[in-house]
């Protein structure tokens, strides 16, 4: 790789940060069961510790996303504890994720529930999350709604739209001027007939109604098969409405597989849209890059390190696209040359450049190898084994 390209790759990596999900370190499963890993995080402290390891080895993950009910079940009174963990493990709290999908009350929905007292409960929880975020100096509140219905005729879709508009506006009005509400969409699961926020258009319209600090969050697993996700990203960039990503890969549905494990070109194309936008506008897209994955079979920390390294590789590759050249080729409709220009960047092996970048930053050249040699996994396996097999152990 030429010096010029290496510089471009390094420059891209300097500013690339990606947030880790606390829930990605805990035991999770499928709807058929949970296979327990002895090393999985049990407590919030374990999750901070694991995220801290990934950050120490990659230098790219200074924040950890928290799901309030799993990580701060006692709410705002636990923010002091979170601050202590952040300091101890050198990772800050990142996005704050409300839990409006698991309590029995939410059986027929949260912000879209026909019962006004349940809708209120959901919005009060989100408002509590805004306060928690304020206390922890976190910018983003990212609600995801499982709301919807399973059978035709069982719910009034338009009434539920209005309830969402009303509730999200109320939550938005409680934001500080530097906070943001990121609205995530998902077309299927757990509601299989209609989901209240099923796609980016619905999220976009709800965000617009909620107010100027609401944006759309794109979870790469939350699309129909073959949907053109980079086109959605381009539209959101065009309207200055993209707030963040939940990255993961998928083969069929919301599989939450390791980023780039199935289709790395997809993620490259998304990053390409962002780099192009930044090149054209001379501004940086203000996007929170976050991981949303749970690894049921792979070791959780290893999978997270793989994910971060893959994200860096694909982000750096996309930075190598020759934008001026591509713009001319597009203008002239030189189709094959334009496509080859994009593919040239994709097929560059950026790994040596990334190793150099890591060396230059005092990081291990191979974070996965360094993790394996660190003894951390053996230590936590021994420490957590008993807690993880205890029948009283729950998700959080």
Footprint on this chain of ligand RM4 (rule: CB under 6 A): 97, 144, 184, 186, 219, 246, 254, 292
Residues that bind Mn ion (CB under 5 A): 219, 246, 254, 292
Residue 19's binding partner among ligand RM4, Mn ion, none (Cβ under 5 to 8 angstroms by kind) is none
19/219 with CB nearer ligand RM4: 219
Residue whose CB is nearest to ligand RM4 in the complex, by number: 144
Smallest gap from residue 374 Cβ to ligand RM4 (A): 29
Smallest gap from residue 317 Cβ to ligand RM4 (A): 26
DSSP H or E segment with residue 276: helix 264-281
67/358 with CB nearer ligand RM4: 67
186/194 with CB nearer ligand RM4: 186
Smallest gap from residue 22 Cβ to ligand RM4 (A): 10
Residue 97's binding partner among ligand RM4, Mn ion, none (Cβ under 5 to 8 angstroms by kind) is ligand RM4
50/184 with CB nearer ligand RM4: 184
Strand partners, 275: none
139/223 with CB nearer Mn ion: 223
136/257 with CB nearer Mn ion: 257
Smallest gap from residue 252 Cβ to Mn ion (A): 13
Which tokens hold the place of 128? 């509590």
Which are the contacts of 223, defined by CB distance < 8 A and separation ≥ 6?
187, 229, 232
Helices 264-281 and 323-331, packing angle to 10 deg: 90
Smallest gap from residue 186 Cβ to Mn ion (A): 6
CA 281, 284, 289 angle in degrees (round to 5)?
135
DSSP one-letter string for 113-177 = -SSHHHHHHHHHHHHHHHHHHHHTT--EE------EESSTTSS-HHHHHHHHHHHHHHHHHT--T
Q: Check if the beta carbon of residue 217 is closer than 8 Å to that of residue 245.
A: yes
Measured distance CA(116)–CA(62) in Å, rounded: 39
Strand partners, 21: 65
Smallest gap from residue 247 Cβ to ligand RM4 (A): 11
């Amino acid at each position: 790789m030429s010096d010029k390209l290496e510089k471009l790759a390094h420059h891209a990596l300097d500013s690339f940060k990606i947030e880790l999900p606390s829930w990605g370190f805990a035991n999770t499963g499928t709807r058929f069961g949970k296979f327990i890993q002895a090393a999985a995080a049990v407590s919030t402290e374990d999750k901070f510790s694991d995220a801290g390891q990934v950050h120490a080895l990659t230098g790219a993950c200074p924040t950890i996303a928290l799901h309030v009910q799993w990580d701060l079940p006692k709410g705002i009174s636990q923010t002091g504890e979170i601050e202590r963990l952040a300091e101890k493990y050198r990772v800050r709290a990142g996005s704050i994720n409300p839990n409006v999908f698991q309590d029995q009350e939410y059986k027929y929905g949260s912000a879209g529930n026909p019962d006004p007292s349940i809708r209120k409960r959901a919005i009060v929880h989100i408002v509590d999350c805004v306060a928690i975020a304020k206390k922890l100096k976190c910018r983003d509140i990212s609600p995801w709604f499982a709301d919807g219905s399973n059978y035709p005729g069982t719910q009034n879709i338009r009434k539920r739209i209005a309830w969402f508009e009303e509730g999200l506006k109320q939550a938005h009005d409680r934001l500080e001027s530097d906070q943001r509400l990121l609205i995530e969409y998902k077309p299927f699961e757990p509601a299989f007939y209609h989901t209240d926020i099923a796609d980016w258009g619905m999220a976009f319209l709800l965000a617009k109604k909620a107010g100027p600090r609401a944006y759309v969050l794109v979870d790469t697993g939350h699309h129909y098969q073959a949907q053109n996700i980079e086109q959605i990203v381009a539209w959101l960039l065009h309207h200055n409405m993209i707030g963040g990503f939940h990255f993961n890969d998928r083969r069929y549905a919301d599989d939450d597989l390791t980023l780039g494990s199935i289709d790395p070109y997809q993620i490259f194309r998304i990053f390409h849209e962002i780099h192009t936008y930044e090149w054209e506008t001379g501004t940086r897209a203000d996007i929170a890059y976050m991981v949303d994955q749970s690894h049921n079979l792979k070791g959780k920390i290893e999978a997270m390190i793989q994910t971060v390294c893959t994200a860096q590789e694909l982000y750096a590759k996309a930075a190598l696209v020759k934008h001026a050249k591509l713009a001319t080729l597009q203008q002239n409709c030189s189709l094959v040359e334009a496509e080859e220009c994009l593919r040239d960047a994709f097929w560059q092996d950026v790994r040596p450049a990334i190793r150099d970048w890591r060396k230059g930053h005092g990081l291990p050249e191979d974070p996965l190898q360094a993790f394996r040699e660190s003894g951390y996994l053996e230590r936590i396996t021994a420490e957590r084994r008993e807690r993880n097999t205890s029948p009283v152990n729950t998700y959080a």
